[in-house]
Amino acid sequence: MLSKFFVEDHVKSALMEDIGFGDITTESIVTEDKIFEASLVSRVEGIICGLEVFKTVFKILSDKVEVNLIFKDGDKIKKGDILATLKGPGKYLLLGERVALNYIQRMSGIATETHKYQQAIGDLPCKIVDTRKTTPNFRAFEKYSVKIGGGFLHRFNLSDCAMIKDNHIKVAGSVTNAINLVKQNLSHAHKIELECDTIEQIKEALPLGVDIIMLDNMTLEQMKEAVELINHRAIVEASGGVNLDTVRKIAECGVDIISSSAIVAKAPALDIALDM
């Protein structure tokens, strides 16, 4: 998912934003010939993610910085674990510290949160997936983190799948009109997903042949009724009101997919530090 050239271009842009016309603090204190060592240390337990991105930050700044990764993405980590060691000119360690930590803390936080949700549903035949509620221009990193955390991916962007939501239905005039209009323009390679608020909308949609039906903010009783009504004629996705307290109960309704923005949008950054 994260190709080398994509990561390098993104990191370069992040470094330009942070460094600007120079680090006036570091350049006043540290000369380039001063060699330092540092450790990337976890302050909490979780799922580590973004190690190669972390390494790329220092690789771009200077080929004199050596980064030795001790863990790999997806590994479970605990408080006090040394995740990587670094050695090189102190100037570059300090220049890249904040940007490198921003990537790995954010990505590890998402991977850890996703892992919690997937663990909560246990062995039930249901998948936790993300949404498009992501940070602008950081979506690829966030979706990669969901995957590393054991989750699965929804559409990456608007061109991946035709997803008919409530506002589309309002504009089209009805569920039937919305589906028919999309089918007139859709490639054979794309699926159609319909967001349904009511059982009546599901009944209207089923004869028209949609691939995925999303149950939006339905009660547990409504979801059970919907799953029985759909009866494997479409993939059933549940969304809305999903949190760690409700996710297993939703999965027990028999849905195939549970989509949640919380695994990304509400994931706290994992507490990871760079100790010189």
- Based on the fold, state whether residues 15 and 78 are members of the same structural domain: yes
Six-digit token string for 174 = 């009805």
Residue 155 annotated to the active site: no
- Separation CA 24–CA 36 (nearest Å): 19
Mean pLDDT of 53-63: 97
Catalytic residue among 193, 195, 237, 256: 195
- Based on the fold, state whether residues 131 and 251 are members of the same structural domain: yes
Catalytic residue among 34, 76, 79, 165: 165
pLDDT for position 85: 98
Catalytic residue among 59, 132, 133, 248: 133
- Based on the fold, state whether residues 108 and 228 are members of the same structural domain: no
pLDDT for position 1: 84
Residue 257 banded pLDDT, cuts 50, 70, 90: very high
Sign of the four-CA dihedral 32, 34, 35, 38: negative
pLDDT of 35-50, one tens digit each?
Answer: 999 999 999 999 999 9
Burial class (CB in 10 A: 0-12, 13-18, 19+), 84: buried
What does the mean pLDDT of the chain come to? 97
- Separation CA 259–CA 87 (nearest Å): 42
- Based on the fold, state whether residues 239 and 167 are members of the same structural domain: yes
- Based on the fold, state whether residues 250 and 124 are members of the same structural domain: yes
CATH code of the domain covering residue 201: 3.20.20.70
Mean pLDDT of 49-57: 98
- CA-CA-CA-CA dihedral for 16, 17, 21, 24, to nearest 10: -120
Whether the per-residue pLDDT at 202 is higher than 90: the answer is yes
Number of domains forming the structure of the chain: 2
Residue 64 annotated to the active site: no
pLDDT of 124-155, one tens digit each?
Answer: 999 999 999 999 999 999 999 999 999 999 99
- Based on the fold, state whether residues 163 and 258 are members of the same structural domain: yes
Whether the per-residue pLDDT at 32 is higher than 90: the answer is no
CA nearest 270: which of 15, 61, 71?
71
Residue 98 annotated to the active site: yes
- Based on the fold, state whether residues 8 and 31 are members of the same structural domain: yes
CATH code of the domain covering residue 46: 3.90.1170.20
- Based on the fold, state whether residues 97 and 217 are members of the same structural domain: no
Helix (H) or strand (E) segment spanning residue 164? strand 162-164
- Separation CA 144–CA 157 (nearest Å): 14
Catalytic residue among 76, 98, 183, 249: 98
Residue 130 annotated to the active site: no
- Based on the fold, state whether residues 139 and 253 are members of the same structural domain: yes
Residue 76 annotated to the active site: no
pLDDT for position 192: 98
Catalytic residue among 73, 216, 237, 256: 216
- Based on the fold, state whether residues 127 and 261 are members of the same structural domain: yes
- Based on the fold, state whether residues 27 and 59 are members of the same structural domain: yes
Q: pTM score, two decimals?
A: 0.96
Tell me the residue range of the domain where 188 lies: 119-265
- Based on the fold, state whether residues 54 and 170 are members of the same structural domain: no
- Separation CA 74–CA 112 (nearest Å): 9
